[in-house]
């Protein structure tokens, strides 16, 4: 039997039996006319892919068709492409009905790849977004009714991650943002929405090369500080989006290598959030602890809480090598870095283990250098060297004064699975912004009506005051570029 190609198909013409692999299964909730319908992306042995819409009355076929398996299919209908969210460039689609036959077949002699990409470079995105604010690509198709209709397509993007955020909440939606560079060396922001954010949060990290399929392009108005308004384009996930990591991307070894070799970008930092972001994420410690690990891990939260205890039996600062930032230790009269040898000077960094309490539950946390510096208004070196608090296990007075004061703490929650003690949840108040908030009431859950501009309680420190002002300055911006570089203290 001849191995037919997807390119032989013509709308409204007889189908041919096709040997295909099912390389994607998805729904398109965002298509208002088609909320729950199932779609497959099918790929043949000639390198072509086609979208198939499932219109069966029973769920039998969908249940029987497995992702990545190969089938010989026949008895389907060939249609023009969909008018919304075209996933591949093919100008036909397949409609699967009750009479369609999916016959499972073994792998072909030359296996069909499990992926299909039609990568776009940054320049192509800009050109397309002008024509349509929502989706990439636009083409006119003359239908049988002799009416022109618009066909949109989604973009695949091969890129290197420069930085990525944790899962955040904006309005009622969960999202994750990352800054990526493509082969044309342009950077662009990709937003992963809802379950897509949770699916990938633990595998994304700066430096990784990824292939992201079926993204839409949107234009975003960005207000920078100083009222400078600009527009930028960004990419967003759709329900058809998939992400493949570099080791799993077939056939692009050369491109992947080039991406890996590109000079590192000055990456934006997602540790910072606007005050609005933080307020959208306010919750209680009890709610976080009772959440499904997969839903709360790596996600940013904020709580109105007090420091209940600072664990003085653990060291509250460390000294680091100025060359490699690893910790140093005394060796007779010298300070030794295990990589760099004797170091002439060392950096001091806060690393304070504490317990937060918000009336609902307690939470062990670690204040890294940035966070503690902002709370105290004093950097670690000043505290140790000038003010003479040099004993690593003697908590300084100014730090003890922080205990019991109610503040809004924002942090990324990290669930430590390796820990044998359930309570040792590793929580890092990473944000640069422990900000003083109006002390209204000791409610366990704070109403949305808490106004950032309300009568503020006196900030605990000058730094907190400055921080609050800084946050307000940035309110309404969405720009990761506004975030100052931040220590990544371990």
**Which positions touch Zn ion (CB under 5 A)?**
321, 323-324, 337, 339-340
Shortest Cβ distance from residue 436 to Zn ion (Å)?
37
Nearer to Zn ion, 475 or 487 (CB): 487
CB of 324 to Zn ion, least distance (A): 3
Query: Are 222 and 478 spatial neighbours (Cβ–Cβ below 8 Å)?
Result: yes
Structure tokens at 245: 């990591």
Of all residues in the shown chain, the one whose CB is closest to Zn ion is: 321
Least distance to Zn ion from the beta carbon of 338, Å?
7
The helix-helix angle for 369-376 and 462-474 (nearest 10°) equals 110
- Note whether 438 and 455 are within 8 A (CB): yes
Compare residues 294 and 340 and give the one whose CB is closer to Zn ion.
340
Least separation, in Å, of the C-beta of 428 and Zn ion?
Answer: 23
CB of 323 to Zn ion, least distance (A): 4
Nearer to Zn ion, 469 or 488 (CB): 488
Shortest gap between Cβ of 372 and Zn ion (angstroms)?
23
Q: Which is nearer to Zn ion, 104 or 338 (CB)?
A: 338
Q: Specify the residue, 426 or 487, whose C-beta has the smaller distance to Zn ion.
A: 487
Phi, psi of 98 (to 5 degrees): -60, -25
Nearest distance from residue 269's CB to Zn ion, in Å?
23
Nearest-approach distance from CB 318 to Zn ion, in angstroms: 13
Nearer to Zn ion, 46 or 339 (CB): 339
Identify which of residues 340 and 385 has a Cβ nearer to Zn ion in the complex.
340
Closer to Zn ion at the Cβ: 292 or 344?
344
């Amino acid at each position: 039997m001849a191995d037919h190609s997807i390119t032989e198909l013509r709308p409204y013409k007889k189908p041919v039996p096709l040997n295909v692999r099912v390389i994607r299964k998805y729904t398109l909730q965002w298509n208002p006319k088609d909320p729950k319908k199932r779609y497959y992306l099918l790929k043949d042995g000639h390198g072509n892919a086609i979208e198939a819409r499932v219109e069966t009355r029973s769920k039998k076929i969908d249940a029987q068709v497995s992702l990545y398996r190969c089938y010989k299919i026949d008895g389907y209908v060939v249609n023009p492409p969909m008018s919304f969210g075209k996933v591949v460039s093919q100008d036909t689609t397949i409609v699967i009905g009750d009479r369609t036959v999916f016959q499972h077949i073994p792998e072909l002699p030359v296996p069909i790849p499990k992926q299909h990409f039609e990568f776009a470079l940054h320049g192509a995105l800009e050109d397309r977004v002008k024509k349509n604010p929502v989706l990439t690509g636009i083409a006119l198709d003359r239908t049988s009714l002799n009416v022109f209709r618009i066909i949109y397509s989604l973009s695949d993007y091969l890129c290197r991650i420069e930085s990525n955020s944790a899962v955040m909440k904006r309005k009622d939606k969960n999202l994750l943002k990352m800054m990526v560079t493509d082969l044309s060396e342009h950077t662009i922001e990709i937003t992963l929405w809802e379950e897509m954010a949770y699916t990938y949060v633990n595998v994304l990290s700066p430096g990784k090369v990824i292939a992201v399929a079926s993204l839409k392009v949107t234009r975003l108005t960005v207000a920078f500080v100083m009222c400078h308004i600009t527009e930028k384009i960004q990419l967003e996930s759709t329900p058809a989006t998939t992400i493949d990591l570099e080791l799993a991307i077939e056939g692009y070894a050369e491109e992947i290598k080039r991406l890996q070799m590109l000079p590192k970008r000055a990456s934006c930092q997602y540790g910072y959030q606007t005050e609005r972001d933080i307020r959208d994420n306010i919750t209680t410690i009890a709610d976080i602890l009772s959440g499904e690990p997969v839903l709360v891990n790596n996600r940013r939260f904020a709580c109105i809480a007090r420091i209940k205890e600072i664990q003085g039996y653990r060291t509250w600062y460390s000294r680091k090598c100025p060359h490699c930032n690893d910790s140093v230790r005394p060796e007779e009269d010298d300070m030794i870095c295990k990589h760099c040898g004797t170091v002439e000077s060392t950096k001091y960094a806060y690393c304070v283990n504490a317990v937060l309490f918000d009336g609902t539950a307690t939470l062990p946390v670690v204040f890294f250098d940035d966070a503690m510096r902002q709370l105290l208004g004093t950097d670690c070196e000043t505290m140790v060297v000038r003010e003479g608090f040099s004993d690593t296990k003697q908590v300084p007075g100014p730090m003890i004064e922080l205990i019991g004061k109610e503040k809004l703490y924002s942090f990324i929650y990290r669930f430590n699975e390796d820990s044998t003690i359930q309570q040792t949840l590793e929580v890092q108040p990473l944000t640069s912004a422990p900000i003083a908030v109006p002390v209204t009431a000791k409610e366990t859950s704070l109403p949305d009506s808490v106004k950032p501009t309300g009568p503020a309680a006196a900030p605990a420190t000058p730094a907190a005051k400055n921080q609050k002002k800084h946050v307000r300055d940035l309110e309404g911006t969405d720009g990761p570029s506004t975030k100052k570089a931040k220590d990544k203290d371990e």
